[in-house]
């Protein structure tokens, strides 16, 4: 039996070796490489979670809240920049021409006359890309280093934005950026409401109303948040910023569980700004799982129309040099190594394509970006990419989905038209006089003046109203039929 086993092993071993020699090693290498690629590219499955208030989950590992918008790293900078540059026909053409000078039959001039300009062009582009990526690094560092107040059972602690984790209880002040996706627990308002600005998330300039959870808003102090044994069930992260399904659970003193449904009105998404009051939120999503990051694509190299046009003109000039080279060779005669003569002619005519044009274009873009940021007529303008600043001068149409996107939502009252009567800026004194008669000012005990809604002695008759009555009703409707958000300024 032992001898049979050894024979079978020897046969299987010899068959395996023969399989490797017959090309099996290549198939094995492909399978290993494919498995490694699938493992590296495999995305983490997003799942729903239960977040305990103030108690991190030791079993599940959530992404860091550190923001990174950089396009390159130390290891990928040179390969990515070279790939982005030599995918253009202009740079690729001069690269091939420069390599031909290493072949003695094709050498025409000195190597530095071909490699020098090409290396200078690539160097200028690399410096520009390095400058843009360094600006992204500075912006990310400023955002990650912003300080926030964290509530703990032992008191308040100051942490940076990059150190925020899921289950942290963060205090957000007025006009402060919300660092992560949160559930609103408490506000400084008695009714538990606050307003957030979402213009950096969805482009809407109007304020959004947010409501705190009733069980947390009714607590006497912020310290009692850690005594209710609260937890939040949050659905798995997704891109939709207008929907959320969750549940807030608490355990009472008699061990009776209480649950409250959570919706979009109870959330505060990352990169929005608190517009009023002070809010306390529970972090449920951080980093790459926040709504803002899920709706953001990876940074890529932008290509302007000028670059595309120059690339197309370079192809046209290259075809012209090829046609010219073949024509000259036809006049001479196709004798001997004629293909070498054609290549030499193409190399000689390569000076028709100006490589210095690319250098001048890149330097002009840098200067243009610098001038835009320092233009006194448009203060606060930030150039995030110096690759396509010239595209601003080629805009032909501005498409807007509604009014207010391109304007400042500041309206000036210029004319009031009622039937056959029109009131303008010149006749506005008549309107003000009529309003004083129908809304007489009253004085209260603390000497502050105010107006009654309407003077009862000047009610219009039941029949047809006069022009003055219509004017009063119209102005009153303009004054009352809109939303007013009171904001209390400190001091």
DSSP assignment of 3-21: HHHHHHHHHHHHHHHHHII
pLDDT at 201: 83
**Can you tell me the mean pLDDT for 304-325?**
88
Band of the pLDDT at 10, cuts 50, 70, 90?
very low
Q: How confident is the model at residue 433 (pLDDT cuts 50, 70, 90)?
A: confident
Secondary element (H or E) of residue 158 = strand 155-160
What is the Cα 247 distance to its own chain's centre? 29
**Active site amino acids:** 401
β strands within 314-367, DSSP E: none
Residues 6 or more apart from 266 whose CB is under 8 A from it? 183, 184, 210, 211, 212, 213, 244, 246, 248
The pTM of the full predicted model, rounded to 2 decimals, is 0.68
CA neighbor of 54 nearest in space, from 155, 128, 146, 135: 155
* Average pLDDT over every residue of 455-475: 66
When mean pLDDT is compared across 361-370, 395-404, 434-443, the lowest value belongs to 395-404
User: What percent of the chain is modeled with pLDDT above 70?
Assistant: 80
Q: What is the pLDDT of residues 113-141, one digit of tens each?
A: 888 888 888 888 888 888 888 988 998 89
Does the pLDDT of residue 42 top 60, yes or no?
no
pLDDT at residue 355, as a whole number: 79
Sign of CA dihedral 151, 153, 155, 159: negative
- Residue with more model confidence, 183 or 362: 183
- What DSSP state is assigned to residue 55? B
Which residues lie closer than 8 Å to 187 by C-beta, 6 or more apart? 193, 194, 212, 217, 277, 278, 279, 280
Six-digit token string for 60: 């599940």
Among 82-96, 313-327, 402-416, the least confident range? 402-416
- Residue-level length of the chain: 491
């Amino acid at each position: 039996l032992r001898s049979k086993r050894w024979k079978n092993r020897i046969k299987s071993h010899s068959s395996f070796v023969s399989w490797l020699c017959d090309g099996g090693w290549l198939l094995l290498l492909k399978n290993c490489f494919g498995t490694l690629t699938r493992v590296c590219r495999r995305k983490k499955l997003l799942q729903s979670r239960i977040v305990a208030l103030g108690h991190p989950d030791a079993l599940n590992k959530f992404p860091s809240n550190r923001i990174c918008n950089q396009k390159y790293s130390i290891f990928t900078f040179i390969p990515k920049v070279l790939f982005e540059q030599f995918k253009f026909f202009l740079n690729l053409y001069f690269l091939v021409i420069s390599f031909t000078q290493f072949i003695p039959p094709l050498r025409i001039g000195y190597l530095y006359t071909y490699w020098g300009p090409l290396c200078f062009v690539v160097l200028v582009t690399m410096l520009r890309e390095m400058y843009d990526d360094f600006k992204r690094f500075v912006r990310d560092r400023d955002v990650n280093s912003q300080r926030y107040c964290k509530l703990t059972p032992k008191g308040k602690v100051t942490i940076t934005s990059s150190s925020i984790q899921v289950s942290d209880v963060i205090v957000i002040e007025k006009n402060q950026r919300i660092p992560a996706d949160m559930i609103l627990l408490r506000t400084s308002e008695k009714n538990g409401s606050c307003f957030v600005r979402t213009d950096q998330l969805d482009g809407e300039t109007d304020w959004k109303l947010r409501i705190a959870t009733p069980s947390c808003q009714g607590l006497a102090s912020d310290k009692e948040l850690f005594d209710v044994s609260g937890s939040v069930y949050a659905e798995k992260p997704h891109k939709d910023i207008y929907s959320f399904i969750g549940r807030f659970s608490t355990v009472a003193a008699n061990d009776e569980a209480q649950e409250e449904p959570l919706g979009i009105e109870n959330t505060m998404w990352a990169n929005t700004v608190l517009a009023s009051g002070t809010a306390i939120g529970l972090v449920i999503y951080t980093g790459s799982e926040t709504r803002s990051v899920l709706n953001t694509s990876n940074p890529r190299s932008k290509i302007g129309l000028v670059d595309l046009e120059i690339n197309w003109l370079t192809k046209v000039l290259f075809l012209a040099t090829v046609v010219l080279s073949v024509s000259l060779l036809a006049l001479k005669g196709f004798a001997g190594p004629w293909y070498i003569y054609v290549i030499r002619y193409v190399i000689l005519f390569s000076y028709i394509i100006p490589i210095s044009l690319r250098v001048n274009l890149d330097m002009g873009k840098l200067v243009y970006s610098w001038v835009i940021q320092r233009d006194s007529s448009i203060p606060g303008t930030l150039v995030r990419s110096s690759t396509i600043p010239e595209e601003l001068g080629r805009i032909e149409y501005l498409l807007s989905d509604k009014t207010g996107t391109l304007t400042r939502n500041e309206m000036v009252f210029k004319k009031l038209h009622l039937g056959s009567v029109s009131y303008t800026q010149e006749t506005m004194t008549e309107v003000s006089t009529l309003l004083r008669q129908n809304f007489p000012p009253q004085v209260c005990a603390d000497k502050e003046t105010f107006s009654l809604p309407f003077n009862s002695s000047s009610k219009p008759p039941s029949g047809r109203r006069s022009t003055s009555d219509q004017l009063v009703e119209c102005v009153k409707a303009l004054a009352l039929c809109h939303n007013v958000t009171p904001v209390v300024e400190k001091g």
